[in-house]
Amino acid sequence: MNFIENADRDMAIMNVAHALTSDLRKCLLRHEFASFAVPGGTTPGPVFDAMSSVEIDWSRVHVMLTDERWVPEDHARSNAGLVKSRLLTGHAANARFISFYRDGMTAQAAAPDVSAALAGEMPISVLLLGMGADMHTASLFPRAPGLKEAMARDAPLLCAVSPPDQPEERVSLSAQALDGAMDKHLVIFGDDKRAALERAMTLPALDAPIGAVIKGGTVHWAA
């Protein structure tokens, strides 16, 4: 795991946006399309803003989420809503977006259909991850109902999970799908998350899901 310490958060955002667009550009030189998985939360918005203004062949980029809160895309907590408003605009408006949320279906019922739709996108070409101070990533929360299944080697690509302290059901790409990405980047800010990441490297995967997926990736950090 490559750990990059940035002078400040703006620098980190610029550097991770540059790294992601460079990885996508490199992938598009060799492949018909690139699959690009991104998280929700509060960290990635400025990264998306920076990426959306970069000229690459976005029409050949297939964007998906690493995880989704099971709410309609116009809901304030929707990750799809965040990605559509901050990333899929400007030059990046031409990218293809693969939705997870299925209106009128539960997360459990929809996950197998979405997994089937994702099969042709694997392995993920470029992955951006966030992380909570509890060492969760995507919606793989330590010891949460559904985590063991989502961490299994034979897990489906997309899994329904029930994080105990979250207001809604979620779906998450499995640890296998995340870990299998060709280029992996994690962006985290603050000393607490840095310490949590270091701790995660010493814990079993079920207690620290980030540790199961970030190996071989690049961590972009700022205080």
Ligand X SMILES: O=C(O)[C@H](O)[C@@H](O)[C@H](O)[C@H](O)COP(=O)(O)O
Query: What minimum distance in Å lies between the beta carbon of 65 and ligand X?
Result: 7
d(CA 216, CA 223): 22
Q: Segment contacting ligand X (CB under 6 A): 83-91, 101-109, 124-132, 213-221?
A: 124-132
Order of strands, sheet of 67-69, starting from the edge strand that comes earlier in the sequence: 67-69, 170-173, 158-161
Distance of closest approach, residue 43 Cβ to ligand X, in angstroms: 3
Contacts with ligand X in 61-100 (CB under 6 A)? 66-67, 79
- Helix orientation angle between 9-30 and 45-52, rounded to the nearest 10 degrees: 50
Cβ atoms of 40 and 65 within 8 Å: the answer is: yes
Helical segments of 4-163, H only: 9-30, 45-52, 79-86, 107-118, 147-151
43 binds ligand X, rule: CB under 6 A: yes
Size of the site for ligand X (CB under 6 A): 13
Is residue 180 a contact point for ligand X (CB under 6 A)? Answer: no
174 in contact with ligand X (CB under 6 A): no
The smaller minimum CB distance to ligand X, of residues 56 and 71, is found at 71
Q: Does 132 bind ligand X (CB under 6 A)?
A: yes
Minimum separation from the CB atom of position 221 to ligand X (A): 13
Packing angle between helix 45-52 and helix 79-86, nearest 10 degrees? 30
- Determine the interface stretch with ligand X among 12-20, 41-49, 109-117, 153-161 (rule: CB under 6 A): 41-49
Is residue 169 a contact residue for ligand X (CB under 6 A)? Answer: no
Cβ closest to ligand X, residue 138 vs residue 160? 138
User: Nearer Cβ to ligand X, position 68 or 183?
Assistant: 68
d(CA 197, CA 220): 12
Q: Is 41 in the site for ligand X (CB under 6 A)?
A: yes
Q: Is 137 in the site for ligand X (CB under 6 A)?
A: yes
Bridge partners, 184 (sequence order): 127
Six token digits for residue 14:
């610029």
Assigned token pair, 58 = 């976005």
| Complex with ligand X: residue 135 or 155, whichever CB lies closer | 135
What backbone phi and psi angles, to 5 degrees, belong to 27? -65, -40
The residue type of 12 is A
Binding positions for ligand X, rule: CB under 6 A? 39-43, 66-67, 79, 130-132, 137-138
